[in-house]
Amino acid sequence: MGNKQFGIDHSRLHQYAAEIKQIAEKKVEVSIVIGGGNIFRGIQANTQEDFDRVQGDYMGMLATVINSMALQMALEKAGLQTRLLSAIKMEEIAEPFIRRRAIRHLEKGRVVIFGGGTGNPYFTTDTAASLRAIEIQADVILKGTRVDGIYSADPEKDKKAVKFDTISFDEVYKRKLEVMDLTAFTLCKENNIPIIVFDMNKSGNLKKVVMGEKIGTLVKL
């Protein structure tokens, strides 16, 4: 969304593509799960009395496919090979998600984008990211946000909030910190997949994280 009120900011889109290209060129296997809140927020719609929760969630899933298609175009313009896999069948624009096919695309050096969430209502894109990470045996989940890590309180509201460089899954539970939704977070803990939360909007951060620099907050067992 960038600086817009809704929709897709093309400058932000191309910035992300450039960031992803930097790590793909390092022969890092990259897969991406993207949300759809800039187009449609199912959570907000679900608070309206005349809105069906399931219908709203499916609309949100379709929004993630729109964003995935936009990112795919930007990545290909940057010279990368990509594949878009959707949890909801729409063969004209995306391959259906098949675990072995996704892994094979990664092995061939393609950037894989997972669209359509999990394909089921009541699950967020955070859960989709955790699920796909487990299925493809990812080494780590990189959660790009607007802040530079996990804090003891919301840093945008509380100036006294303290940033954590490293924190355990159990400590996040204990402090009731909002890193991901509970389902997604529990999946990561139970399958021992570390999470790095970092500011995706700061140029160069993605490459620094991948190269091992201490950027953002690491969540681990």
Residue 52, pLDDT score:
87
* Whether residues 65 and 130 fall in one domain: yes
Q: What CATH number corresponds to the domain at position 72?
A: 3.40.1160.10
**Which of 25-39, 40-54, 67-81 has the weakest average pLDDT?**
40-54
Where among 111, 138, 165 does a domain terminate? 138
* Whether residues 39 and 109 fall in one domain: yes
Residue 45 has pLDDT above 70, yes or no: no
Q: Please tell me whether the overall predicted TM-score, pTM, comes out greater than 0.95 for this model.
A: no
- pLDDT range class, residue 209, cuts 50, 70, 90: very high
* Whether residues 107 and 169 fall in one domain: no
Rounded to 5 degrees, what are φ and ψ at 33? -120, 130
* Whether residues 108 and 155 fall in one domain: no
In order of 73, 105, 169, 202, the CA distances from 82 in angstroms are: 9, 8, 33, 24
Q: 116 and 65 in contact (C-beta within 8 Å)?
A: yes
Question: Which percentage of the chain shows pLDDT scores above 70?
Answer: 96
Work out how many domains the chain is built from and give that number. Answer: 2
Residue 201 structural domain: 139-221
Overall average pLDDT of the 119-137 stretch: 97
Residue 92 has pLDDT above 90, yes or no: yes
* Whether residues 134 and 168 fall in one domain: no
Residue 157, pLDDT score:
87
Overall average pLDDT of the 147-176 stretch: 93
pLDDT tens, position by position, 164-183: 999 999 999 999 998 999 99
Torsion sign (Cα): 76, 66, 116, 14: positive
Tell me the residue ranges of DSSP E strands in 55-146.
82-86, 95-96, 111-115, 141-145
Residue 44, pLDDT score:
61
* Whether residues 153 and 110 fall in one domain: no
